[in-house]
Amino acid sequence: MKRGRTSHRAHRTLALLLRRVEHGESDLVVSFFTQALGRVSALARGARKSTRRFGGALEPFHTLRVDVDEPSSSDLFMLREAALEAPREMLTSNLDRMDAAGRALAWVRVASPPRTEEPEVWKEITTLLDRLNDDGRVNARLVLAEQGLRLLVAFGWGLDLERCVKCGKPCEKGRSAFVDPVRGGLVCRSCGSARTKLSGATRERVAASSLQPEDVEAALDLVERTLKAHAGA
């Protein structure tokens, strides 16, 4: 990697840290999901030796405000400054909440294309983090499952839970049904069904992304399998 590249455009945007990797003796290569630019990677020079420009802000789960320079060549931005915009102290004080947040950020890191603005994804991932930061009692896995379903919709991969995705036959309200995330939703018995079966009540709650605790594992399984089918997550 060459130093001294000339940057031709500066950006200031809100961002979430997705990953940080040590580079050389004092630098970091950081990956952000940003409000204005989508997913980008940037070189943070001297970040491991000096906190003057970054002030300890390069930590996950908090919303950051970053200044980055876009290079005329290469995919790697240059990070000039980073500061905390919205810290989430309640989230970072609880292991269950941090685990859920880390899992969600991993989804975004794998599913987001580089340099593609994703306003709906930004809205849903920051909502997820804000919900996990609530100062009351939080069921972290339930929040993860609900917001995970909404992230699928934001990415354009929402599941059709109203009718068979193969033949179009509608499923009556309140009836159980088989769901295949690879095909994108319900598959009726005539079309071969699928391995995952949702009760009528669970299907309605999953479709509305408004779950009960007993729905969480089935919903997370659907989210994970859908992301794997589309993004290899």
Domain contains 2:
no
Q: Are residues 198 and 127 in the same domain?
A: yes
Q: Is the pLDDT of residue 2 over 70?
A: no
Q: Are residues 48 and 105 in the same domain?
A: no
Region of 87 please: left (phi>0), alpha (psi -120 to 50) or beta: beta
* Nearest partner of 33 among 13, 47, 55, judged by Cα: 13
* Nearest partner of 28 among 41, 15, 47, judged by Cα: 47
CATH code at position 80: 2.40.50.140
Q: What DSSP designation does 218 have?
A: H
pLDDT average, residue stretch 162-185 = 95
Give pLDDT tens digits for 14-34. 999 999 988 777 788 999 999
Total number of domains in the chain: 2
Backbone phi and psi for residue 150, each to the nearest 5 degrees, phi listed first: -70, -30
Q: Is the pLDDT of residue 1 over 60?
A: no
Q: Is the pLDDT of residue 144 over 70?
A: yes
Q: Are residues 57 and 107 in the same domain?
A: no
Name the residue range of residue 24's domain.
Answer: 7-86
Select the more confidently predicted residue: 59 or 4.
59
Q: Are residues 110 and 214 in the same domain?
A: yes
Average pLDDT, the chain: 91
Give pLDDT tens digits for 49-78. 666 667 678 899 999 999 999 987 778 999
Cβ atoms of 154 and 107 closer than 8 Å: no
Q: Is the pLDDT of residue 101 over 60?
A: yes
CATH code at position 219: 1.20.1440.120
Q: Are residues 131 and 76 in the same domain?
A: no
Cα gap 14→61, rounded to integer Å: 12
Q: Are residues 98 and 75 in the same domain?
A: no
